[in-house]
Amino acid sequence: MAQPMISFPEALQRIVESAPILASERLALGLGVGRVLAEDLMANAALPGFDYSAMDGYAVARSAFAGTGPWSLPVSGESRAGALAAPLAAGATCRIFTGAPIPEGADAVVMQEDVTRVGDEASFARVPELGAHIRRRGEDLAEGAVALAKGTRLTPFQIGLAAAADRGELLVARRPRVTILCTGEELRSPGSPATPGTIPDSNGPSLFALAAACGAQPVLAPRIGDTLEATEAALRAALRGCDVLLTVGGVSVGEHDLVRAALERVGAELEFWKVQIRPGKPLAFGRHGETLILGLPGNPVSAQLTFALFGVPLLRAMQGDRTPLPPRGRAKLAHALTQKPGRTGFYRARLEGELAITATNQASGSAVSLAHADALLILPADSTGLAAGDSVEYIRLAEL
């Protein structure tokens, strides 16, 4: 059945908008990195939880600084972190350390560098400002305030904030279950004995890593050969128990490209199978019941980039990520970049300061150029190219 190619923005929108939001689960705080919050995370306590000193020094009441200076005050007690300070004696000062509670009656802290200490007396040359070097209770977060919004993909620093907000558990989206099914009789496991005509499977491990990095729970299914019967049987097995089925290879128009035909035989409904991008035109998307299906081309760069461009946003959207699409930036082209118009082009490059240096080899089978790139330069479908020094849009590979 003939079908026109659809544009990159339309394909991306249709894929992301098809994503069902997965159920949520609770897990321990330390396991939350990379997971997506399924609720607003509220502060169980004010942050900070009490007024404390931001410096090592002396806690004082400004009312003790009467007349003209310098002023000499007796040192009465000390306040240190982890202990409740006694109230400040009238007309006295209290030795205090960073993080220690402010004694009742004190309204400023003077840094120890600005104090002259002789025995039990401390001398001050200036009247401190009200509230100097004091961190106030609730200054960062009030009790009950939103510390992190629903849909936040958690970083290690946000885990730290959740802990500071006194949260021991997190409610996060369940990890999408992804089955990766690679096709091709020429493929063998990396590191296995080589036989004539075979190549190591680079797509399976790379796609597994990409899926895991964006929070999914991937499984590599056994590879299949190039027969319709074997492909159909493998698809039926792979469709059981996964949220997303990822097929690799076999979605083009060659005699051995059998995945699309086998998907139709098992009852899958395909929405489209050609997208106006390079590399990666033969890209299929559809569903089988509740399972979403993404059929990738087989060439390593095409497979890995199409999954990065479409599969990663899909998996992020399924987890309720508020920003499933990667941010874009702009750089200056170090060298001219040309293309035949008609498809949105994604070109491997390295960023050096404000410059984007395109990889010499842009072939869809060049895993080397992709491995050494840190950005994808984007040329619109109607563009014939850009000159050296022109501004070009890019996506950082690390931000996919």
Which segments within 165-224 are labelled E, that is strand? 169-173, 177-182, 187-188, 199-200, 217-220
Alpha-carbon span 165 to 45, nearest angstrom: 6
Token pair recorded at residue 12: 């991306």
pLDDT tens for each residue of 185-200: 888 889 999 999 899 9
Report the top-level CATH class of 52-135: mainly beta
Q: pLDDT value at position 84?
A: 85
Mean pLDDT, the chain, as a whole number? 94
Tokens of 282: 């033969």
Confidence (pLDDT) at 370? 95
End-to-end CA distance of the chain: 33
Question: With the C-alpha atoms ordered 382, 387, 391, 397, is the resulting torsion angle positive or negative?
Answer: positive
Cα dist. 291→65, 174, 354, 389 in Å? 74, 15, 42, 45
Q: Locate tokens 């050969």: which residue? A: 225
CB atoms within 10 A of CB 66: 10
Using alpha carbons only, give the angle 273, 188, 247 rounded to the nearest 5 degrees.
Answer: 20
Q: Is residue 365's pLDDT more than 90? A: no
pTM, to two decimals? 0.89
| 252 confidence band (pLDDT: 50, 70, 90) | low
Sorted by sequence, the CB contacts under 8 Å of residue 73 that are 6+ apart come out as 60, 64, 91, 92, 93, 121, 122, 124
For the domain made up of 8-23+174-318, give the CATH fold. Molybdenum Cofactor Biosythetic Enzyme; Chain A (3.40.980)
Q: Around Cβ 359, how many Cβ atoms within 10 Å?
A: 17
Which of the pair, 259 or 114, is modelled with greater confidence? 114
User: pLDDT (tens digit, 9 = 90+) per residue, 105-164?
Assistant: 999 999 999 999 999 999 999 999 999 999 999 999 999 999 999 999 999 999 999 999
Residue 281 · residue 309 · CB < 8 Å: no
Token pair recorded at residue 47: 């942050």
CATH number of 328-399: 2.40.340.10
Beta-carbon count within 10 A of 67 CB: 5
CA quadruple 377, 153, 246, 201: dihedral positive or negative? Answer: positive
d(CA 145, CA 44): 8
Could you tell me the residue ranges of all domains in the chain? 8-23+174-318, 25-47+139-173, 52-135, 328-399
- The arrangement of secondary structure in 25-47+139-173, i.e. its CATH architecture, is Alpha-Beta Complex (3.90)
> Can you give the pLDDT at residue 256?
46
Query: Is the pLDDT at 181 greater than 70, yes or no?
Result: yes
Span 347-366, average pLDDT: 95
pLDDT greater than 90 at residue 85: no
Residue 351 pLDDT exceeds 70:
yes
CA-to-CA distance for 29 and 32, rounded, in angstroms?
6
Band of the pLDDT at 2, cuts 50, 70, 90? Answer: low
Are the C-beta atoms of 284 and 259 separated by less than 8 Å?
Answer: yes
Calculate the alpha carbon distances from 286 to 9, 228, 266, 269, 290 in Å.
17, 19, 12, 5, 10
- Sheet containing strand 115-118, edge to edge, reads 108-111, 57-60, 93-96, 71-79, 121-124, 115-118
| pLDDT value at 168 more than 50 | yes
Residue 345 has pLDDT above 60, yes or no: yes
